[in-house]
Each structure stands twice: as structure tokens, then as C-alpha cells.
Structure 1
Amino acid sequence: MSSPENLAPAQPRGAVLDCDVLVVGAGIVGLSTAYAVTRAAPGTRVVVLEKEGAPALHQTGRNSGVIHSGIYYRPGSLKARYATGGAAELVKFCAAHDVPHEVTGKLIVAVDRSELPRLHALVQRGRENGIPVRELGPAQLREYEPHVRGVAAIHVGTTGVCDFTAVARTLGRLAEEGGAALRYGAEVAAVDRRAGRGVAVRTADGSVLRARALVNCAGLHCDRVARLAGDEPGMRIVPFRGEYFALAEERADLVRGLVYPVPDPAFPFLGVHLTRGIDGGVHIGPNAVPALAREGYAPTTLRPRELAGVLAYPGAWHLARRHWRYGAGEVHRSLSRHAFTAAVRRLLPEVTSGDLRPAPAGVRAQAVLPDGTLVDDFLFAESPHTVHVLNAPSPAATASLPIGREVAARVLAAMAH
């Protein structure tokens, strides 16, 4: 990455701006932000910079495709507010724009009695968040999912599935119709920001674009883009690879819809769950393990500089010391197909290791604080001419429309000052 010192002043007096708002990242959050800006302030010139050759190639396009209800999130948090309202809004958006989707509902299943207190706590949390929740006994559970084992469950009717890549592409098209420009193959190499002069960005090919304001929606690279802009984000992205399997096609009838275990409240990961996707296939996972690169979708993908950055960060070591037992279990399931199958069989006893087929992995852009705390809510930060989105993993895709409006409002307010 180039040093900002090598970049010309952001906006010399009398310089012509290339646009009003530069958005870095064409994932679902960046494209939703661009769309929201064009709707809230027609005529605002927006340019989206994406280092890849197409949108939604990272977190947006590498997940289980679930429209989350918001039941897991602390009442009053941004995640709870945005996921709850965003789920309903996303369903309407998909219907209006012919994006494949289905509201299926989901089950959260307690496989033994020790999990019942946490299941009951989820019932209460769901009600506090205004989410319809139905409690089920074993017989009612079997009516929904005959092959799933459990002592109790809850049914959350507002959960569904969709094609998030198609959602992102639709948002991009709507943003372009509103006057935005999407530039692919445009990796940000340097940022120069000077008080009262706006922002200039140089891309890897040497192009320079000047704007009144910058929005950082760089996902896995958001902390690095923040530092390029001269800001200390107060967190680091520690990437976790989510490993998935798919049920063999001839065994897909074992799962009718969406089935989740009762999650560990100490972690933002929801455990190994069963998801019948919009394409009819059944995905199982994810297993969450540390990735050796920010885009480490394969276990063998290693980028020494990125790994060194994680290892040099005190927060990563505090996290490891605090949760090594949990992490060891995840790594064990990653290395052992037998161990992963055993985790699945807690919910779906009829599954064998031969029923599982490797499926594409994703990487979660998890923000970690210097003391090792996992940031459990969406995180935004502002500085002159700049808005940073610093933590927006799942359920950000579900909540992408309200998040886009929030970020758009922030950047438009920043431009007004």
C-alpha cells in the first residue's frame, strides 16, 4: 500500500471534484449506502470503488443466505433494531424486484435439558424484540422436522432465505439508475484527507479521484482503509473462516427448512446449523476457525503479512487466551470430518460422514477490541469528511437497507458541515 504522503493534496483551492461521495466496497452494505444516498439526495454524485471485478464476492456472496429475524440480539442494539425491521423490508424489496427469496421460518432446537434455560432466554429476547416466537415440544418439533432430534424448540416465523448476491446486484443497478457510478478493479492504494479540502483516493492503477466525503465499507479490509485515511479505528479485523458442507442431493430430504442449535451467548457465531437454501440444497455449518489471510477461504491460503498483523495485535492474543477451549473445539471439527459429523448428528442423528460434501467457505470480518472483546454490534465511526463501517458481519446482509440509510444520513450530514 502506498503512503498518503505520495498523493497530491486532497482538494486544492479551485480544484474540480470528481464526485461528492466515494464509497469503498461493493458488498451489500456499500451498494445499499450508494443507493440510499441517491434516494435521499438526488443529484449527489456517488462513485463506488471495488477492487474485484464484480460485486458481492466476499461476505455478501459467501454465507448461508439466511434472512435473520433478529431474535439473538440484545434489545435496543443496532443489530436488534436493524435486523428486525430490515428482515421485513428485505422481503418486500426482494418481492418488488423479483429477487429469489422465501420466508420459511426456522427452528432453534435444544438437544438436551441443559440447554433449556438458554432456549427460554431466547424466547424472552424474541418477545422483547417484537418477534413472533412459538414454543414447541418434541412432538411438535417432529411435525416441522421429522428427522431432527431435540427435547424442545422454538419456531421463529419471520426468518427466511434469499439470494444476497442478487440483492446486491439489484442495489447496484438501482444506485446506477440514480446516477451513481460503479468502478470495478479499483483497489484503494492511498487516501489523503485534509481539513476543509475533502478527500482524494488513489487506486492501484494510479488513478486519483477527489470527493467531498469518503465512506469506508471495505468489510474484511475496513480497518486498513481507516488507517489509510489517517484514522485509528480502535479495533482490528480478525478473520474467521466459516467452513460449510452440503448434504448429498439424495439425502437433502432429511431437512425441510432452517434448523439451528441453541447458541453460546458468549460468541457471535451461531453454531453448526442446517439451512435449506433458495436453490433447494441443504448447507451445514459453519465451523468457525481462524483464517490465515483476510480472504483465506481455503485452509492453505496464507498471506504472511496479514497473518503477522493479527499475531502482532494484543487483542488477538487476549481473545485466544480467553476462549481457547471453544477455539480448540472448532479447530478439531475443522481437521476431523468425524468430529464435524458428530456435531451435526446432535441435531440430525441419521447423517453420516458420507452424506457430507465440501461446500464453499466464507470469512467473517470480525472486529476485535485491544482487550480481546469481540465487537457484538454494528460499529460506525466518523471523522472529517469520512464515515467508517467497522463491524458489519452477519446479520448485516439482512439489515443492509437500514444500514445503508444510516450510513447515507451520516455522510450527507458530514457534507453539510
Structure 2
Amino acid sequence: MHHREWEVVPVVGRAHDCDVLVVGGGIVGLSTAYAITRAAPGTRVAVLEKEAGPARHQTGRNSGVIHSGIYYRPGSLKARYAVRGAAEMVKFCAEYGIAHAVTGKLIVATDREELPRLHALVQRGRENGIPVRELGPAQITEYEPEVRGLAAIHVGTTGVCDFGAVARRLAEASGAEIRYGAQVVQVDRRPELGVAVRTGDGSVVRGRVLVNCAGLYCDEIARLTGDEPGVRIVPFRGEYYELARPGLVRGLVYPVPDPAFPFLGVHLTRGIDGGVHIGPNAVPALAREGYGWGVVRPREVAATLTWPGAWALAHRHWRYGLGELRRSVSRAAFTDAVRRLLPAVEEADLVPAAPGVRAQAVLRDGTLVDDFLIRESARAVHVLNAPSPAATASLPIGREVARRALAVLGAL
């Protein structure tokens, strides 16, 4: 893929097809379109999505959890937007009749070494303004009779919803022109003219400002635009099982996360459909949309392997990674991880479910970008890191991206 390979020929009488051109029809891109049309009625917004419908990747392939914001550093975008976004998401779902429930969740320590980290989460939750209740072993069983642990915390504001339905509603309510099956293959940005995007079918769409919400491909879209993002998306596949005996779990049960890694560990989630999902683990994917070991895209693998940060990341976390790989190839090993929380579970209880892929931005030195990352350039706004809890926080994220896009637009 190359940028600036054709001349922009303005349409007679109308140089631009839209004011803001959003690339990506996941929940962040659609929330951005929704926020722009709410904040500045009359602004023409177009959304380009390469799939045949919205929310086909990260949005539609996560555990459906409305996160409370307890994990995130106080003052960070993740903390502020998750806390605010959780309340707004519940209100949005209620207003539009989207299936949801505020269930609360348990975070359970099963080892003495985890107790200080659990206590730190209590403090972090309080700093972030989140209601947290500390529990002993007997109180754990009041919430979850089959779960065992040394101590736990109950977080009351956590919930579940159908984020795919949220994305579809945002698409309808935004009033934006949404083009599905429109894969971006070239971008020509001219400061004096605007941004022209060529899609896979040869169509050209012209906008005054481009907003990049391309998720798994956001770094590539940034480079097509002519910007160096300074990060590379390294895809991690999360593999899930469904619990054949869903009655073992009433709600949401999480382990105490390892603060050195941005994944929450194998957890149990009763969804809005009543089924219980278990997972995800986190293994390197061999394609950005690598939903199984059999999906390999050599160009994308090469892009990861040529990024110095990927090697630094592997060197730093190889022990953790080996454990994740073992659980990926061995259902017995995955079952053992679940038994730490739920001793009654058997290997036969785990039924394979649809996996997801997390778009994780990695810096050149191997640092995993911990917060949401949004950058601006001439006639462009790039969302370069928006993994979990981005679905929870999508309404405030969308407003922030919209604010920046409208500021760029207003400055032209």
C-alpha cells in the first residue's frame, strides 16, 4: 500500500464529499460520528468501513463487559473515560432499548501474594470514585457459592451489554453516511485541498478532515496519510470458552490482574444472553485479524517482526507469554487456570467460543501503550490505541475525538 499515488481532481461544484471522513466502523468510529453530528449539526460526516456491517472486530468480539474503571491509573484517560463512560453506556442502552444489566463483579485473590495487589485496587477504586466493598472468604460465597478465594472486592458499577447493538444504534442515530465494504487502500492528503481516500473498488471519497479509527489497522492508515505514528499495532488473540454448566457462576468473576501486563487474566462473564464466557487468554496473533492459529498473513507477521518493540516486548514478558501459549494449545491447562477461581469446573465444561483480537499499540522500546492514544496532524486525527475499555468508554472517547476533529476543521 502506498500513499499519494494519484492526483486529486475536485468534483465540479463540490470539492468535498463530506466535512469529516471517518475510517473505521467500530464503536469508536461510530461514536465519533455520532458526537460530531450532535456537537455541530449540519457537519457532513462519512464513515468508511471495510466489512459488510459495523462492529465486526474488536467491538463485536469482546466479553461485553461495561468496565467500572477500577484498574486504571487515576487521572488517566482510561480512568476518567471508563468511569464516565460506564454510566453513560448504561443510560444509552436504557434510552435505546439495548439489552444490558448492571451486575457488579468480584475480583478474587486466590494466593497470598495477590493480597497487596488486591488492596491496591481498593485504593485505586476509591481514588477513581468507584464503590468498592471488601470481602472475606465467607462473603465471597454469598455472591458466588462455587467461587473460592482468600479475599475479594465487589465492584458495584460493572455491567454487561451488547456492544454490537450499541454500535448499530450509534450508526443509525449519527445521521452520517456510512459506506460498508469500503476498504481504504490509498490516502492523498493535500493541505490546500483536503484528504482524498481511494477504496478497494476504485471509488474516491474526499473530505476536509480525516479521522482514523481503524483499530487493528490504525497505524497503517496513519502511514498511508503520511504520518509516522511512532507505534506499531501488535495483535494479541484472546481465546474464549463457554461454560457448559452456566449455573456454576452467577455473575462476573475476575482474578487479580498482573500490573506488568495490560490483560486482566482468565475471567468468567455471565453475558446478557445468560451464557457464561471464560477467557480470554492472550497470545500473539499471526495476522491482525488472526482469529485462529491457521490464519497467517506473512506481510503482517513481517511488520510485527521488523518492529524493534516486538522483540523487546517478547524479551521482557516471555515467561508470561509461555503460560498463555500453553493455555492456548491445552484445554487442560486452561481448565487449571479457571479452577483457581472455580474449583468445580471440569475440562468437559469448556466449550470453544468465538475468539477476539486486541489491537495493542507497542512503542519502539517494547513498552505497551497503557492509555488511550489520540494524535493530531495536518487535516487528520488518529486514534492509535483504544483497546479495552474502549467499548465502555466509547461515548466520551467519541466526544474527545470529535472535539479535536472539529477544532482541526474550524482552523481551516
Task: Show CA shifts across 1:35-61 (max 9, x none).
Answer: 000000000000000000000000000
Aligned partner letter, 2:25: A
Task: Show CA shifts across 1:232-283 (max 9, x none).
Answer: 00000000000000001xx111000000000000111000000000100000
Who is 2:186 aligned against? Answer: 190
Who is 1:386 aligned against? Answer: 380
Aligned partner letter, 1:405: R
| C-alpha distance in structure 2 between counterparts of 1:88 and 1:218, whole Å | 25
* CA RMSD, Structure 1 to Structure 2 (Å): 1.1
Q: Please say if 1:286 is aligned against 2:285.
A: no
Who is 1:64 aligned against? Answer: 63
Say if 2:146 and 2:342, in contact at 8 Å, map to a contact too: yes
Q: Residues 308-327 of structure 1: matches in 2 within 5 Å?
A: 308-327=302-321
Say if 2:137 and 2:151, in contact at 8 Å, map to a contact too: yes
| C-alpha distance in structure 1 between counterparts of 2:52 and 2:125, whole Å | 40
Who is 1:242 aligned against? Answer: 238
Task: Show CA shifts across 1:87-106 (max 9, x none).
Answer: 00100000000000000000
Who is 2:362 aligned against? Answer: 368
| C-alpha distance in structure 2 between counterparts of 1:11 and 1:375, whole Å | 39
Q: Residues 207-218 of structure 1: matches in 2 within 5 Å?
A: 207-218=203-214
Q: Once the 2 structures are TM-superposed, how far is the Cα of residue 13 of structure 1 from its aligned partner? A: 10
Q: Residues 31-46 of structure 1: matches in 2 within 5 Å?
A: 31-46=30-45
Q: Residues 30-179 of structure 1: matches in 2 within 5 Å?
A: 30-176=29-175
| C-alpha distance in structure 2 between counterparts of 1:272 and 1:150, whole Å | 15
Q: Once the 2 structures are TM-superposed, how far is the Cα of residue 4 of structure 1 from its aligned partner? A: 2.4
Q: Once the 2 structures are TM-superposed, how far is the Cα of residue 15 of structure 1 from its aligned partner? A: 5.5
Say if 1:10 and 1:200, in contact at 8 Å, map to a contact too: no
Who is 1:23 aligned against? Answer: 22
Say if 1:243 and 1:285, in contact at 8 Å, map to a contact too: yes
Give the match's secondary structure for 1:402: helix
Task: Show CA shifts across 1:258-311 (max 9, x none).
Answer: 000000001110000000001000000001000000000011100011001101
Say if 2:20 and 2:211, in contact at 8 Å, map to a contact too: yes
Aligned sequence identity (%): 76
Q: Please say if 1:409 is aligned against 2:408.
A: no
Who is 1:358 aligned against? Answer: 352
Q: TM-score, normalised by structure 2?
A: 0.98
| C-alpha distance in structure 2 between counterparts of 1:65 and 1:142, whole Å | 24
Q: Once the 2 structures are TM-superposed, how far is the Cα of residue 8 of structure 1 from its aligned partner? A: 1.7
Who is 2:216 aligned against? Answer: 220
Give the match's secondary structure for 2:20: strand
Q: Once the 2 structures are TM-superposed, how far is the Cα of residue 9 of structure 1 from its aligned partner? A: 2.9
Q: Name the CA shift for 1:10/1:310 in 2 (closer, same or farther; >3 Å).
A: farther
Task: Show CA shifts across 1:352-375 (max 9, x none).
Answer: 101100000000000000000000
Q: TM-score, normalised by structure 1?
A: 0.97
Task: Show CA shifts across 1:192-249 (max 9, x none).
Answer: 112232111111111111111000000000000000000000000000000000001x
| C-alpha distance in structure 1 between counterparts of 2:252 and 2:282, whole Å | 19
Aligned partner letter, 2:104: G
Uncovered stretches (5+) of structure 2, i.e. residues with no partner: none
Say if 1:17 and 1:211, in contact at 8 Å, map to a contact too: yes
Choose 15-24 or 120-129, whichever is displaced more: 15-24
Who is 1:199 aligned against? Answer: 195
- Which residue, out of 271, 276, 295, partners 2:270? 276
Q: Once the 2 structures are TM-superposed, how far is the Cα of residue 7 of structure 1 from its aligned partner? A: 2.1
Task: Show CA shifts across 1:363-391 (max 9, x none).
Answer: 00000000000001000010010000000
Say if 2:5 and 2:188, in contact at 8 Å, map to a contact too: no
Q: Once the 2 structures are TM-superposed, how far is the Cα of residue 6 of structure 1 from its aligned partner? A: 2.0
